[in-house]
Amino acid sequence: MELEKITDMPKATENASKRAEKRWYDDACGTALAMELVGERWSLLIVRELMFGPRRFGELKKALGGISANVLTQRLEGMEEAGILTRQKLPPPASVQVYGLTQWGYASERAIQELGRWAVQSHRHDTTLPLSAASLMLSFRTMIDRSRSGTVNAMIGFRLGDEDFVALVDAEGIAIRRADRREAATVFASDPVTMASIVYGGRPIADAEGAGSLSLSGDRALAETFVTLFPLPPKTGSA
């Protein structure tokens, strides 16, 4: 069995290299190249999941509910070969392999945000569908209305499943990182879908609390203000 694994490694590397070098379009346009780099199914969502720091293979697979282990492996290999992400082993006591974006990989966030702003104008945008914690946090960085956030200068905390984030909100917008939520002035403990229903669906905080899907601690007035900072644009696409 071990011999089979060792024998397969060069083949896997060769396949990843071929994927990275393949041309979908005979076109010099940067947009065409971007599609070749991250246009395969799941690729851009993997980049999204890594925007808040390196993740383990299992963490990525859990966040991307419909992806198979085989496809995830292929996408990670292809994007590593292309220079979008890297693999590294964490030091003891963790001693596990994680995947993280390169500096160039992180630079794709602006493009992802612009695509998101464009797509939410479609009538097909459904805020009730499942989404990951990283997806929700990136949506906050994308949809923050700076004309509204200027009234806030505070740290907001989130406990989304087993993931913690803190967000600094001020006139500049919102800066989010993975960190201990307990340092925040107010903390939402919930799940991404519930939070999306409040922020983007207009669901009252009290309703989610009553249903047992949200626990709020700290400054309640700040929490009520926070959920109004992310207005969605009018719908313009066809249904």
> With bands split at pLDDT 50, 70 and 90, how would you rate the model's confidence at 21?
low
Dihedral angle at the C-alpha atoms of 138, 208, 61, 17, nearest 10 degrees?
-20
Residue 149 has pLDDT above 90, yes or no: yes
**Which pLDDT band holds residue 10 (cuts at 50, 70, 90)?**
very low
* Residue 18, pLDDT score: 55
Residue 100's pLDDT is what? Answer: 97
Q: For the chain, what's the residue count?
A: 239
State how far the Cα of 230 lies from the Cα of 109, in Å rounded to an integer: 18
Residue pointed to by tokens 């246009």: 39
pLDDT over 70 at 116, yes or no:
yes
Residue 187 has a pLDDT of: 97
The predicted structure's pLDDT at residue 13: 46
Compute how many other C-beta atoms are within 10 angstroms of the C-beta atom of residue 174: 21
Using the predicted structure, report yes or no on whether residue 5 has a pLDDT greater than 80.
Answer: no
What does the alpha-carbon distance between residue 87 and residue 95 come to, in Å, rounded to a whole number? 13
- Based on DSSP, count helices (H) and strands (E) in the chain, helices before strands: 12, 7
Compute the distance between CA of residue 59 and CA of residue 79 in angstroms, rounded to an integer: 17
165-180 average pLDDT score: 96
